[in-house]
């Protein structure tokens, strides 16, 4: 048996942090505005970024429709994130290229699934990931000894050979 | 012990071998002397018989015998001297032998002393080993005790948090919401109002972020389908950085009056985020602590 030297300053446990987070969220929930701020801001940013490819003929009503859809999308994302944050289990959205998930498709098969090859056919695929279309959903159960379970794989695009 | 054994062999053997050789030599000399003595004893008889037998040349024969006897006497003297020397040497060797025996005995005693010291050390080590095993047992049982207490604590916390209204959501529900987001992004990216068939827009009309995303070196060589895919990916990344991978508290945008002395920050969420970050940075490193949040 090996004893770890415990730093006296570092005495906050993960469980205590998640308790604090959950209870804090519970308390500030009463202050929550109707439209979550994070959703409004993100939807607005996304709309502005893609303005250059918005059809020149688009009417004001069509623009408002896009904005509404983006706000709906971002609000749902916030709702999901809050559920993830309120959980004692640790849910994360992960993409290849972050720590522990390398950018080679063959190195992160458990996290990522290839959906296309940019500039080529599926049989021209290299092993290198160009980008992630959508991240994966990963769970670390509170009592799972830190083991990561991939609930939903990330979708990735590979470079052409 | 082992180290002193070579000393025994080297000290005893050569000395003893030498002594044996000397004793052999002495015995040979003695035998020789015996022979000479015998000859000397028989000499008068020989002379008498010679006297009886002859007369004319008897005196000459006596003179010859006398001449012969002279070197024999000298030889006997030198042999006796040699015997004396050998005896002296033998005595020296015997006394050296005694010295060696004393040394060997001393070495044996030293050996015994070292052996008993080693035995003591071994006993001490054994005792320490037993103590260590006992300590490990104690530590193990303390760990078990801690584990039991942690399980109790966990059970109690579940009760408290259930009272606080923690939402229990299944993996399936979370996965469903997650895939729904993916679907929504795809639907938005495929809206006909977004034109994926036109070339890269003029950089003059774009800000830095737009110019980097719609860079004509990339955008213009992509098919419409590939452009849609890149738009989806970018939408996802923005949502990831601002929402899905962000320490949200649901109180984003909520403000309080920025009072003097309390800093100029009027939003409360950044402060909560900083508290959580600080807690994460001071997380305990106990073996049972959960893995860190990135």
pLDDT of residue B96: 92
Strand partners, A117: A158
Residue A43 within a domain: no
Residue B222: burial class (beta carbons within 10 Å; 0-12, 13-18, 19+):
middle
Phi-psi region of A145 (alpha: psi -120 to 50; beta: other; left: phi over 0): left
DSSP B3-42: GGHHHHHHHHHHHHHHHHHHHHHHHHHHHHHHHHHHHHHH
| Structural domain range at position A121 | 89-161
Confidence of residue A35 (pLDDT cuts 50, 70, 90): low
Instruction: Look at residue A103 and give its three-state secondary structure.
Output: coil
pLDDT of residue A155: 96
Tokens 């068939």 sit on residue: B197
What is the tens place of the pLDDT at every residue in A52-61?
999 999 999 9
Q: Do A104 and A128 contact (CB within 8 A), yes or no?
A: yes
Residues written for chain A? 161
Task: Determine which of A73, A90, A97 to mutate to test the interface with B (most B C-beta atoms within 10 Å).
Answer: A73
Residue A97 within a domain: yes
Task: Please indicate whether, in this complex, the C-beta atoms of A32 and B136 are within 8 angstroms of each other.
Answer: no
Task: Please indicate whether, in this complex, the C-beta atoms of B283 and A12 are within 8 angstroms of each other.
Answer: yes
The per-residue b/e assignment along A84-97, b for 16 or more CB within 10 angstroms, e otherwise, is: bbbbbbbbbbbbbe
- Give percent of chain A with pLDDT exceeding 90: 54
Q: Name the residue among B160, B166, B68, B61 with its Cα closest to residue A83.
A: B166
| Chain A residues touching B229 at Cβ < 8 A | 116, 118, 133, 157
Nearest chain A residue to B214 by CA distance is A52
Task: Please indicate whether, in this complex, the C-beta atoms of B214 and A41 are within 8 angstroms of each other.
Answer: no
Residue A115 within a domain: yes
Residue A5 within a domain: no
pLDDT of residue B167: 54
Task: Please indicate whether, in this complex, the C-beta atoms of A139 and B171 are within 8 angstroms of each other.
Answer: yes
What is the tens place of the pLDDT at every residue in A132-148?
999 999 998 877 777 89
Rounded to the nearest integer, the mean pLDDT of chain A is 86
DSSP B179-233: HHHHHHHHHHHT-TTB--SSPPPPGGG--HHHHHHT-HHHHTTS-HHHHHHHHHH
Task: Please indicate whether, in this complex, the C-beta atoms of B231 and A58 are within 8 angstroms of each other.
Answer: no
Task: Determine which of B171, B188, B239, B279 to mutate to test the interface with A (most A C-beta atoms within 10 Å).
Answer: B239
Instruction: Look at residue A88 and give its three-state secondary structure.
Output: coil
Tokens 């020397």 sit on residue: B85
Point out the residues of chain B with pLDDT beneath 50.
Answer: 1-9, 286-294
Residue A142 within a domain: yes
Encoded tokens for B129: 């080993």
Of B205, B248, B276, Cβ closest to residue A17: B276
| Alpha-carbon gap: B122 to the closest alpha carbon of chain A (Å) | 25
Question: Phi then psi for B153, rounded to 5 degrees?
Answer: -60, -45
Question: What's the CA gap between B153 and B160, in Å, rounded?
Answer: 10
Residue A112 within a domain: yes
Q: How many domains does chain A have?
A: 1
Task: Please indicate whether, in this complex, the C-beta atoms of A13 and B286 are within 8 angstroms of each other.
Answer: yes
Does residue A1 surpass a pLDDT of 50?
Answer: no
pLDDT of residue B258: 64
| Chain B residues touching A66 at Cβ < 8 A | 188, 191, 193-194
Residues 6+ apart with CB under 8 A from B291: A14, A140, A146
What is the tens place of the pLDDT at every residue in B77-91?
889 999 999 999 999
Task: Please indicate whether, in this complex, the C-beta atoms of B244 and A80 are within 8 angstroms of each other.
Answer: yes
What is the tens place of the pLDDT at every residue in A66-121?
999 999 999 999 999 999 998 888 899 999 987 667 788 888 889 999 999 999 88
Task: Please indicate whether, in this complex, the C-beta atoms of B238 and A90 are within 8 angstroms of each other.
Answer: no
Task: Please indicate whether, in this complex, the C-beta atoms of B293 and A31 are within 8 angstroms of each other.
Answer: no
List all residues of chain B from 134 to 173 with a beta carbon under 8 Å from chain A.
Answer: 136, 139-140, 143, 154, 157, 161, 164-167, 169, 171, 173
ipTM, interface predicted TM-score of the complex: 0.88
DSSP designation for A54: B
Encoded tokens for B255: 């403000």
Tokens 């002393």 sit on residue: B113
Residue A111 within a domain: yes
pLDDT of residue B290: 43
- B209 touches A at CB < 8 Å: yes
| Chain A residues touching B209 at Cβ < 8 A | 49
Residue A1 within a domain: no
Nearest chain B residue to A141 by CA distance is B290
Q: Do A114 and A126 contact (CB within 8 A), yes or no?
A: no
């Amino acid at each position: 048996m090996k004893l770890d030297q415990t730093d006296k300053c570092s005495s906050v446990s993960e469980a205590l942090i998640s308790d604090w987070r959950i209870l804090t969220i519970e308390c500030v929930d009463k202050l929550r505005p109707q439209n979550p701020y994070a959703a409004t801001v993100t939807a607005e940013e996304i709309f502005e970024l893609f303005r250059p490819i918005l059809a020149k003929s688009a009417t004001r009503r069509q623009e408002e429709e896009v904005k509404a859809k983006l706000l709906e999308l971002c609000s749902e994302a916030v709702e999901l994130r809050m559920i993830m944050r309120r959980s004692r289990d640790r849910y994360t959205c992960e993409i290849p290229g972050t720590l522990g998930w390398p950018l080679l498709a063959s190195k992160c098969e458990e996290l990522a699934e290839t959906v296309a090859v940019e500039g080529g056919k599926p049989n021209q695929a290299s092993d290198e990931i160009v980008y992630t279309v959508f991240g994966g959903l990963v769970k670390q159960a509170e009592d799972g000894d830190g083991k990561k379970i991939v609930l939903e794989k990330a979708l990735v695009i590979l470079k052409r050979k | 012990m082992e180290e002193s054994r070579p000393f025994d062999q080297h000290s005893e053997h050569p000395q003893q071998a030498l002594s044996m050789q000397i004793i052999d030599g002495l015995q040979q000399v003695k035998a020789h002397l015996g022979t000479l003595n015998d000859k000397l004893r028989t000499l008068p008889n020989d002379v008498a018989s010679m006297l009886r037998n002859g007369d004319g040349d008897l005196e000459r024969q006596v003179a010859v015998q006398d001449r012969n006897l002279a070197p024999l006497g000298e030889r006997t003297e030198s042999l006796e001297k040699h015997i004396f020397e050998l005896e002296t040497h033998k005595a020296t060797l015997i006394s050296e032998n005694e010295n060696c025996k004393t040394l060997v005995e001393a070495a044996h005693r030293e050996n015994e002393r070292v052996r008993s010291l080693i035995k003591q050390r071994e006993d001490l080590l054994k005792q320490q080993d037993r103590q260590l095993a006992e300590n490990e047992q104690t530590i193990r049982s303390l760990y078990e005790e801690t584990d039991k207490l942690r399980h109790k604590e966990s059970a109690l916390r579940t009760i408290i948090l259930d009272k606080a209204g923690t939402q229990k959501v299944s993996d399936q529900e979370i996965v469903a919401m997650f895939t729904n987001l993916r679907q929504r992004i795809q639907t938005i990216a495929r809206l006909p109002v977004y034109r994926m068939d036109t070339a890269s827009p003029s950089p003059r009309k774009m800000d830095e972020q737009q110019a980097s995303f719609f860079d004509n070196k990339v955008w213009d060589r992509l098919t419409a389908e590939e452009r849609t895919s890149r738009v989806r990916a970018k939408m996802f990344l923005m949502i990831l950085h601002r929402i899905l991978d962000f320490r949200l508290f649901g109180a984003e945008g909520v403000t309080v009056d920025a009072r003097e002395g309390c800093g100029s920050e009027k939003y409360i969420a950044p402060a909560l985020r900083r508290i959580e970050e600080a807690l994460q940075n001071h997380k305990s490193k106990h073996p049972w602590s959960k893995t860190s949040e990135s």
